[in-house]
Amino acid sequence: MNNSDTKGIIGIKIDVDTHMGMQRGVPQILSILKRYNIKASFFIPMGRDNTGRTVKRIWTRKGFLKKVNRVGVLQTYGIITLLYGILLRGPEIAKRAAGIIRTIIEEGHEVGIHGYDHVYWHDHIKDLDRERTEEILKESVRIYRDITGRAPLSFAAPGWMINAHALKFFQENGFIYSSDTRGVMPFFPVMDNRVFRIIQIPSTLPTLDEVVGIEGNDPEALSSYFVDSLKKNINILTIHAELEGKRWGGFLEMFLQKSISRGFIFERLIDIAQDIKDRGELPICEIFYGSIRGRAGEVSCHSAPL
């Protein structure tokens, strides 16, 4: 990675949260990325789709209902997805999409793990003990290996929620990096008074669902807002298969067009992490649970360098 002749680096991180997002959204995003010859990083849950269980967040997370109303939950997920895990048995996201996953890899993109049960991880990982955390991660790694024939090198926490047990697991099991936080720069994380030598690459930009209806309501205005938010160093944009892979595909195309016209280049997160690893220079920051504009509930954030 060499940004001396550019305005900066953009890493596109695609989080897949649902079976529908995997089956319908990912192929759409792949098509868009191919048109612009951009390689990106996809993160996929290894277990079942239990999206319907998020309904309890209406009562447990301040601002959740307001956020889903801005985004349009029915248009985004559809009624069937919203019944998975409560009235319908959710499909196994990764196993049912083994062919799509292999296509992602064949087209030169990165595939990492986005938890096992997205809803369970997001809602419970903060309080899980070492045994339960490792149990989830070991099963996720097993399924990833079965589908891809290779060991995983990266992880992105559902809902940007992580614990120290998971960081220890990544460090001890050959992961190069994880992307579990919101922040401004890559770093080595500190959690529970322990320093982990696993590269942490935070999402540096907001997500579309956090700003739609606030910074704009159409692809033109929103893409301009995101491009104007880019910095001259490393920028990580997290998009969702359920949004940019469906009715917000026009936003993604406009963002790519405008970013390219301003001289930004695109890297997979694994390539960004490998360059950081090769240089061996990284600040140490503490991870803590905090809040950010436009998102209900807590997320993992990072401190200033220690």
**Interval 159-182: pLDDT, tens:** 999 999 999 999 999 999 999 999
CB 258, CB 266: distance < 8 Å: no
CB 179, CB 236: distance < 8 Å: yes
Q: Does residue 3 belong to any structural domain of this protein?
A: no
66 pLDDT exceeds 70?
Answer: no
CB 251, CB 222: distance < 8 Å: yes
pLDDT digits (tens, 9 = 90+) for 72-83: 777 778 889 989
Binned at pLDDT 50, 70 and 90, residue 62 comes out as low
Q: Does residue 223 belong to any structural domain of this protein?
A: yes
Tell me how far apart the terminal alpha carbons of the chain are, to the nearest angstrom.
26
CA distances (Å), origin 27, targets 30, 133, 258: 5, 31, 22
CB 11, CB 269: distance < 8 Å: yes
Q: Does residue 266 belong to any structural domain of this protein?
A: yes
pLDDT value, residue 69: 65
Q: Regarding predicted confidence, which is higher, 132 or 75?
A: 132
The overall average pLDDT reported for the chain is 93
Binned at pLDDT 50, 70 and 90, residue 54 comes out as confident
Residue 89: partners with Cβ closer than 8 Å, 6 or more residues away: 48
φ, ψ at 269 (rounded to 5°): -65, -35
* Structural domain harbouring 23: 9-302
243 pLDDT exceeds 90?
Answer: yes
pLDDT digits (tens, 9 = 90+) for 191-230: 999 999 999 999 999 999 999 999 999 999 999 999 999 9
pLDDT value, residue 63: 60
pLDDT value, residue 286: 98
Look at residues 172, 233, 186, 177 and name the one whose alpha carbon lies nearest to residue 43: 177
Q: How much is the average pLDDT of 88-94?
A: 97
pLDDT value, residue 78: 85
Report the domain count for the chain.
1
CA 74 – CA 303 distance, rounded (Å): 36
Q: Does residue 267 belong to any structural domain of this protein?
A: yes
pLDDT value, residue 280: 84
Residue 150: partners with Cβ closer than 8 Å, 6 or more residues away: none
DSSP, collapsed to helix, strand or coil, labels residue 252 as helix
Burial of residue 158, with CB atoms counted within 10 A of its CB: 0-12 exposed, 13-18 middle, 19 or more buried = buried
Binned at pLDDT 50, 70 and 90, residue 2 comes out as very low
Angle at alpha carbon of residue 251, lines to 213 and 47, rounded to 5°: 90
225: domain CATH number?
3.20.20.370
Q: Does residue 268 belong to any structural domain of this protein?
A: yes
pLDDT digits (tens, 9 = 90+) for 269-301: 999 999 999 998 899 999 999 999 989 889 999
Q: Does residue 197 belong to any structural domain of this protein?
A: yes
| Residue burial 257-284, b: 16+ Cβ < 10 Å; e: rest | ebbeeeebbbbbbbbbbbebeeeeebee
Residue 174: partners with Cβ closer than 8 Å, 6 or more residues away: 151, 153
pLDDT value, residue 82: 87
Q: Does residue 1 belong to any structural domain of this protein?
A: no
- Does this model's pTM top 0.85? My answer is yes
Q: Does residue 4 belong to any structural domain of this protein?
A: no
Query: Per DSSP, which regions of 16-158 are E strands?
Result: 41-44, 110-113, 154-156
Q: Residue 253: how many CB atoms within 10 A of its CB?
A: 16
